[in-house]
Amino acid sequence: MKFSLNANALRAWDGDVLIIGVLEDKSKSTFKLLEERYGDSITKNLTKQKFTGKSGQIATFHLLQQHSEEATFVVGLGETNSLTIESFRKATSLAVKQSKGTEGKIGVLFPWGNIDKAKEIQAVAEAVRLCLFKDERFKSKTDTQNTPSELEMIGVESIPEISLKNVSSTCAGVELARELVGAPPNQLSPEALATEATQLSKEFNLQLKILEQEECKKEGMGAYLAVAQGSDLKPKFIHLTYKGKGKINRKLAIVGKGLTFDSGGYNLKVGAAQIELMKFDMGGSAAVLGTARAIAEIAPSGVEVHFIIAACENMINGSAVHPGDIVTASNGKTIEINNTDAEGRLTLADALFYASKLKPHSIVDLATLTGACVIALGDEVAGLWSENDELANDLLAAATESGEGLWRMPMQNSYKDGLKSMLADLKNTGPRAGGSITAALFLKEFVEASTPWAHIDIAGTVWADKDKGINPAGATGYGVRTLLKWILINNGKDSTND
Ligand code: BES
Ligand code: MG
Ligand code: ZN
């Protein structure tokens, strides 16, 4: 989709679909603009429909006289004092969804500049493209429904060029993540993830290292390899590196859980768990690769980012882990696997220790780690654990700006007792209560203590059962926008850890 700005007034606009945002307390001025284009009957019509500009309201007009556009959507943004960037996203996706079936150029006129013009425009442009996303890769016949190919922001003279460039890279990153998560587990194997990383490295000039099983063995990654040993598919440990131009003042590592399928192992998933959805258990790694794609394309200077994925499947065969096995992770700690379904943390143990050895300024991991986090926060909010306030606040700010739900949870160190093992250094699961906290505490054992680290549990947010806002039903691509904002917000910040 092509994005552009159009400094002209509404009355002079030419295109195929119009979306007009209305602030409830400033509706008169927008209605005036509409009248300039369509005559005063439009205001009468809006009044008759009881359209006032309340958030969630929408009025639709088709083929208004003397104009080229097929449809005009007038959409409510609520009151100015409660306006947020999210209001722009919400109103945009509401109108764009109704415009499905139209093609050509969409024009958007919102009351720009009430918050931050560049940010508003970025959010609207992203919302248009992301809410139109449709995954038809696995259909033998694709839907013939038209979609718009061009988007123009009306009444905008200029914003920094970088803002519009970032929109396409960001959306491409989110779409990549959605496609990876949505792909079925017979196609999206650990090897397919490695192939995707290889393609990214070639297309965007990223450094790539893939550790095969033997090399992982040499690294002593006994926890990760234990999970992989029950599958016929070989594990692939993926490490992509982005190096920005100029002096590197910030070195970051992003680690993603990459279980291309989680059957639970011998603690097989039964009952309520939707085992067929456990293809999404690589959602963390999808966010990592989506972010890698976007960062490589945006190419910020002065920052180095390591993208790390310990990819494998959690399956059952004759050599699969027995519940009760004791394994040794690469940092030397021994783990009694009292539940084979708590496999993500085992793979992350070795991936986080590997990331620590790179001595980054901070590490962030994303993982569909616990059902407990879904119970706590639902499917719109991910859980954030970090003992570093600065890192936690930066991530929360990035999430707020991107409109991705994120809530800080406690790293309750006293719960570590729940991970005590009679025989080994620790067990991989504790009691049911507080399950996502003990999972975070388990991970903590594998991160170099002096490195700021944050863990984000995306078990709920990786997937949407229903179409909501900018996310069509299915894979959401959660995390890409937050990670990107976090990397870019922090770009230029002086390192404190050299
Ligand atoms: N991949 C699951 C977590 C999950 C559950 C994600 C539901 C999304 C929806 C993870 O590997 C897992 O099975 N965790 C267990 C841990 C338990 C055995 C301590 C869980 O949450 O049930
Ligand atoms: Mg599991
Ligand atoms: Zn899992």
Compute the average pLDDT of residues 288-300.
Answer: 98
Question: What is the pLDDT, as a whole number, of residue 496?
Answer: 42
Using the predicted structure, report yes or no on whether residue 314 has a pLDDT greater than 70: yes
Using the predicted structure, report yes or no on whether residue 161 has a pLDDT greater than 80: no
Question: What is the pLDDT, as a whole number, of residue 491?
Answer: 66
Q: What is the pLDDT of residues 194-205, one digit of tens each?
A: 999 999 999 999
Task: With cut-offs at 50, 70 and 90, classify the pLDDT of residue 167.
Answer: very high
CB-based burial label for 289 (10 Å; 0-12, 13-18, 19+): buried
Phi, psi angles (nearest 5°) of residue 352: -70, -35
Compute the average pLDDT of residues 361-382.
Answer: 98
Question: What is the pLDDT, as a whole number, of residue 100?
Answer: 84
Domains and CATH numbers, the chain: 2-157 (3.40.220.10), 172-492 (3.40.630.10)
Mutating to test ligand 1, I would choose from 341, 381, 415, 427 the residue with most ligand atoms within 8 A of its C-beta, which is 341
Using the predicted structure, report yes or no on whether residue 490 has a pLDDT greater than 80: no
Ligand 1 pocket: which residues have CB below 6 Å?
Answer: 262, 281, 339, 341-344, 368-372, 374, 429, 435, 459
Partner residues linked to 109 by β-bridges: 20
Q: How far is CA 7 from CA 165, 186, 192, 215, 459, in A?
A: 18, 49, 45, 57, 43
Question: What is the pLDDT, as a whole number, of residue 495?
Answer: 43
Using the predicted structure, report yes or no on whether residue 85 has a pLDDT greater than 80: yes
Using the predicted structure, report yes or no on whether residue 405 has a pLDDT greater than 70: yes
Question: What is the pLDDT, as a whole number, of residue 63?
Answer: 76
The yes-or-no answer on residue 293 being catalytic is: no
Compute the average pLDDT of residues 36-47.
Answer: 93
Contact 22, 50 (CB under 8 A): no
Residue 186 CB contacts under 8 Å (≥ 6 apart), including other chains = none
Using the predicted structure, report yes or no on whether residue 6 has a pLDDT greater than 70: yes
Compute the average pLDDT of residues 160-164.
Answer: 80
What is the 263 CA–ligand 2 centroid distance (Å)? 7
Using the predicted structure, report yes or no on whether residue 263 has a pLDDT greater than 90: yes
Contact 301, 228 (CB under 8 A): no
Ligand with minimal distance to 442 CA: 1
HSE value, Cβ hemisphere, 13 Å, CA-based, for 421: 19
Using the predicted structure, report yes or no on whether residue 97 has a pLDDT greater than 50: yes
Distance CA(354)–CA(294), nearest Å, equals 23
Using the predicted structure, report yes or no on whether residue 494 has a pLDDT greater than 80: no
CA 10 to chain centre: 34
Distance CA(333)–CA(347), nearest Å, equals 14
Task: With cut-offs at 50, 70 and 90, classify the pLDDT of residue 67.
Answer: confident
Distance CA(110)–CA(54), nearest Å, equals 14
Q: What is the pLDDT of residues 112-137, one digit of tens each?
A: 999 999 999 999 999 999 999 999 99
What is the 384 CA–ligand 2 centroid distance (Å)? 19
Contact 305, 364 (CB under 8 A): no
Distance CA(177)–CA(485), nearest Å, equals 16
Range among 50-64, 271-285, 404-418 rated most confident:
404-418
Partner residues linked to 261 by β-bridges: 313
The yes-or-no answer on residue 269 being catalytic is: yes
Query: Which atom belonging to ligand 1 lies closest to the Cα atom of 343?
Result: 11
Compute the average pLDDT of residues 244-255.
Answer: 97
Distance CA(224)–CA(6), nearest Å, equals 53
Query: Which atom belonging to ligand 1 lies closest to the Cα atom of 281?
Result: 1
Of all protein residues, whose CA lies closest to atom 17 belonging to ligand 1?
342
Using the predicted structure, report yes or no on whether residue 362 has a pLDDT greater than 90: yes
Q: Lowest mean pLDDT of 84-93, 147-156, 213-222, 325-334, name the range.
A: 147-156
What is the 383 CA–ligand 2 centroid distance (Å)? 17
What is the 299 CA–ligand 2 centroid distance (Å)? 35
Distance CA(65)–CA(97), nearest Å, equals 23
Extract the tokens encoding 158: 């200029």
Q: What is the largest CA-CA distance in the chain?
A: 81
Compute the average pLDDT of residues 49-76.
Answer: 90
Distance CA(184)–CA(190), nearest Å, equals 12
Question: What is the pLDDT, as a whole number, of residue 338?
Answer: 98
Phi, psi angles (nearest 5°) of residue 50: 60, 30
CB-based burial label for 79 (10 Å; 0-12, 13-18, 19+): middle
Task: With cut-offs at 50, 70 and 90, classify the pLDDT of residue 480.
Answer: very high
Distance CA(468)–CA(311), nearest Å, equals 30
CA 484 to chain centre: 9
Contact 38, 11 (CB under 8 A): no
Residue 138 CB contacts under 8 Å (≥ 6 apart), including other chains = 184
What is the identity of the amino acid at 19? I
Using the predicted structure, report yes or no on whether residue 109 has a pLDDT greater than 80: yes
**Where on the phi/psi map is residue 432: left (φ > 0), alpha (ψ -120 to 50), or beta?**
alpha
